[in-house]
Amino acid sequence: MGEFVSVEVADHIATIRLDRPKMNALNAQVQRELAEAAALIDADPQVHAVILYGGARVFAAGADIKEMSAMSYVEMSAHSVTLQGALTAIARIGKPVIAAITGYALGGGCELALCADFRVAGESAKLGQPEVQLGLIPGAGGTQRLPRLIGPARAKDLIFSGRHVDAAEALAIGLVDRVVPDEQVYTAALEWAATFVGGPAVALRAAKQAIDQGLETDLETGLEIERLQFSGMFATEDAKAGMRAFTERSKPTFKGR
């Protein structure tokens, strides 16, 4: 669909593919194309799950430093809205999203992976937030999504030092969910995504929204978000089909309605 970001759909699974040689640097154009891809996929009822993939060699090595270095404070103040908005659009896709991480996922690339619900990494993958080594801080969600995922102390370790972590450490601290041989990364993500195909799409969207929105607030408000989403399921055909199948001891057929 775009010059650097494409969307391929097969068997109800969409793959958002980054392809900007050499390292999939997330320049302004890539950011716009990511947001467009997210909107397209989110609105497509035929898509049940999503994979973020940068190819066999690299996921995304970060933002385009050459492009950013020429910006003034005023320019970056405006551009950072676009940067965060593009990644937030990925995070808000109302379907399960799996990042298939090969090679480097650094800076903006790591922040893009953080927008997924799950992360599968190759054994030689390297992840990190090295912005401090440039006199910067993460600006596409790293200071917010990373501590929510792995805890504040571990996030500060990575952000303050700017160091890279290998796949084994990333798995140990919860930064990735599975580690597989490099050549199996996309296949493993595809197999995981396939488990959501044919599932109750409305319930999956509601569960994702309840979890993500609940993490942003206090427990009482989060429980109210859950209650409203839970109650709303009783207006769906899928819930009726699921409960009917349970009582009849049969397998439900979900239609995403």
Cα–Cα distance for residue pair 240/203, rounded to 1 Å: 12
Cα–Cα distance for residue pair 153/193, rounded to 1 Å: 31
Whether 169 sits among the annotated catalytic residues: the reply is no
Question: Which listed residue (131, 191, 220, 237) is catalytic?
Answer: 131
Question: Which listed residue (33, 36, 111, 224) is catalytic?
Answer: 111
Cα–Cα distance for residue pair 175/119, rounded to 1 Å: 8
Q: Which of 77, 149, 139 is nearest to 108 (CA)?
A: 139
Whether 131 sits among the annotated catalytic residues: the reply is yes
Strand stretches in the chain, DSSP E:
5-10, 13-18, 49-53, 97-101, 104-106, 118-122, 126-128, 164-166, 178-180
Cα–Cα distance for residue pair 107/137, rounded to 1 Å: 9
Q: How many helices (H) and strands (E) does the chain have?
A: 11, 9
Cα–Cα distance for residue pair 13/187, rounded to 1 Å: 12
Which tokens hold the place of 57? 């060699």
**Mind telling me the catalytic residues?**
111, 131
